Chains A and B, each alone.
Chain A
């Protein structure tokens, strides 16, 4: 029970932050409505101010919300894809498949389909796609 509640506490966006974002969003909408009213009345300068203020507030609220969601998403522990290379030392046949629990380097597997010699696991590794940043130095 306590485990469940604490996990969800770590997952959710802070209620306090959410409340502030919602208030700012509501105020920005009010500012935009007032700006339309001011424009209808003919007070163009005030309408302009309110419109700029409304859009800025809306953009800030959206940005904060987006950043918070991004933080929650970045919390996930991603298991990398690990591959197992299987080789027949006699005829040189090489297969690469996804890692299965129980695999280990130099484990004997089923006989080779071509030469009937035992196949073995020669490597287990993960491939990392993104290159390390060196900042040009």
Chain B
């Protein structure tokens, strides 16, 4: 009823009045549009969504190709290879890792740990073959660059898979799911795109907030290597002895803080009053970047192996586990470090000192771990 009234009124708004040819044509057009929308509304909606996904897919393709190009150029520039590394890079981008079988979960952490070790060694060897003139720091940076390119390649391929599948089956629900998560996928892809340049140049990234704090605390003190790819320094803080641990920089490296913490605790036969972990933490929308928060537990991301090892070590000796995080979003975590995050290092040190004063006694031994990628941060 309402529709019919609208259809009669609308043509007359254009000056027809109901009698002449033009208003009849417009009326007919309204009927046609109405009928088309009744039968093909969902399909039209799907085509609109497909078009939107297609636009994002083009952008993802562009980002992926740029990533590949940056990786190849950086390898040529730093590694001085004798032959063109493009084929090897393309092969590298397709590498995959199969996670261990979890039907019988007993011992899965160490199986995963082993697989990750093998993967790391294999990828590093590949980088050394691609870039023979690069030193250890550059090998780490190139590995990180290639990993970012690999992530972009994977994101593009998955989105393309669902896009083609949706188009083939003309299933609204496949396309709809893809279109709904696309803003988040694009955000992640853009984050990896900005990470590429940072990794290629060896710039500190937002994830390096933990290593930056640890580096500030240990700077000027003697360091020694601990397994795996980490360094430890013995530093007096507030009349306590602190063992400061971070991944060995300045190459792109996260190390294995789980093994490092376990080693230091075992070396001191468990006589540690507190373990304090510093890491970058994902912020919620609305929270400011670089905000510092304090809590309990193992502040560490990744596949969970290091978290397991740290928790295992502290439970064995009943050591309290404290955490201080610097809030940032995924984009900030993998792109060059923002000034707010760099400035928050001093605030974190103050918070750590407060925790030490409130939770430990003079003469105690404590472990402070700066967790994250130490690219562009020395010690």
Count of chain A residues with Cβ under 8 Å from any Cβ of B?
A: 34
Q: How far is the CA of A107 from the CA of B69 in the complex (A)?
A: 29
Most A CB contacts (10 A, CB to CB) among B65, B203, B212, B379 go to B203
Kindly identify which residue among B55, B59, B336 contacts A126, using a CB–CB cutoff of 8 Å.
Answer: B336
DSSP majority for the B interface? helix
CB neighbours (8 Å) of B198 from chain A are 82
Kindly identify which residue among B22, B59, B335 contacts A80, using a CB–CB cutoff of 8 Å.
Answer: B335
Asked if B339 is an interface residue, CB under 8 A from chain A, the answer is: yes
CB-based contact B376/A75 at 8 Å:
no
Report the minimal beta-carbon distance from B167 to chain A, rounded to whole angstroms.
15
With A77-B197, A80-B336 as given contacts, are A124 and B65 in contact (CB-CB < 8 Å)? no
CB-based contact A105/B203 at 8 Å:
no
Asked if A117 is an interface residue, CB under 8 A from chain B, the answer is: no
CB-based contact B203/A10 at 8 Å:
no
Report the minimal beta-carbon distance from A117 to chain B, rounded to whole angstroms.
13
CB-based contact B337/A125 at 8 Å:
yes
Q: How far is the CA of A79 from the CA of B58 in the complex (A)?
A: 20
Q: How far is the CA of A98 from the CA of B313 in the complex (A)?
A: 43
CB neighbours (8 Å) of A37 from chain B are none
Q: How far is the CA of A45 from the CA of B289 in the complex (A)?
A: 60
Most A CB contacts (10 A, CB to CB) among B194, B197, B342 go to B342
A9-21 Cβ-contact flags toward B at 8 Å (1 or 0): 1110000000000
List 12 interface pairs A-B (beta carbons < 8 Å), by A numbering: A11-B62, A46-B22, A77-B66, A77-B193, A77-B197, A80-B336, A99-B201, A102-B202, A105-B215, A107-B378, A126-B335, A128-B339
CB neighbours (8 Å) of A101 from chain B are 201-202
Chain A residue nearest in CB terms to B72: A3
A53-97 Cβ-contact flags toward B at 8 Å (1 or 0): 000000000000000000100110101101000000000000000
Report the minimal beta-carbon distance from A123 to chain B, rounded to whole angstroms.
5
Closest 6 CB pairs of A and B: A104-B250, A10-B62, A106-B378, A125-B342, A126-B336, A125-B339
Chain A residue nearest in CB terms to B70: A77
Where the two chains meet, the residues of B that have a C-beta atom closer than 8 Å to any C-beta of A are 14-15, 22, 55, 58-59, 61-63, 65-66, 68-69, 193-194, 196-198, 201-204, 212, 215, 219, 249-250, 286, 288-289, 335-342, 376-379
CB-based contact A104/B338 at 8 Å:
no
Report the minimal beta-carbon distance from A128 to chain B, rounded to whole angstroms.
6
Chain A residue nearest in CB terms to B68: A3
A36-50 Cβ-contact flags toward B at 8 Å (1 or 0): 000000000110110
CB neighbours (8 Å) of A124 from chain B are 203-204, 336-337, 342, 376
Kindly identify which residue among A77, A128, A137 contacts B63, using a CB–CB cutoff of 8 Å.
Answer: A77
With A49-B14, A104-B377, A125-B338 as given contacts, are A7 and B65 in contact (CB-CB < 8 Å)? yes
CB neighbours (8 Å) of B193 from chain A are 77
Q: How far is the CA of A77 from the CA of B190 in the complex (A)?
A: 8
CB neighbours (8 Å) of A3 from chain B are 65, 68-69
Most B CB contacts (10 A, CB to CB) among A46, A79, A107 go to A79
Q: A125-B336, A132-B288 are in contact. List 7 more A-B contacts (CB 8 A).
A: A46-B22, A49-B14, A105-B377, A124-B203, A125-B204, A128-B340, A134-B286
Report the minimal beta-carbon distance from A94 to chain B, rounded to whole angstroms.
14
Report the minimal beta-carbon distance from A68 to chain B, rounded to whole angstroms.
9
Report the minimal beta-carbon distance from A55 to chain B, rounded to whole angstroms.
15
Report the minimal beta-carbon distance from A82 to chain B, rounded to whole angstroms.
5
CB neighbours (8 Å) of B378 from chain A are 104-107
CB-based contact A45/B15 at 8 Å:
yes
CB-based contact A82/B336 at 8 Å:
yes
Q: How far is the CA of A128 from the CA of B194 in the complex (A)?
A: 13
With A10-B65, A101-B202, A137-B286 as given contacts, are A125 and B219 in contact (CB-CB < 8 Å)? no
Asked if A116 is an interface residue, CB under 8 A from chain B, the answer is: no
Kindly identify which residue among A11, A49, A106 contacts B377, using a CB–CB cutoff of 8 Å.
Answer: A106
CB-based contact A107/B250 at 8 Å:
yes
With A45-B15, A106-B378, A106-B379 as given contacts, are A123 and B66 in contact (CB-CB < 8 Å)? no
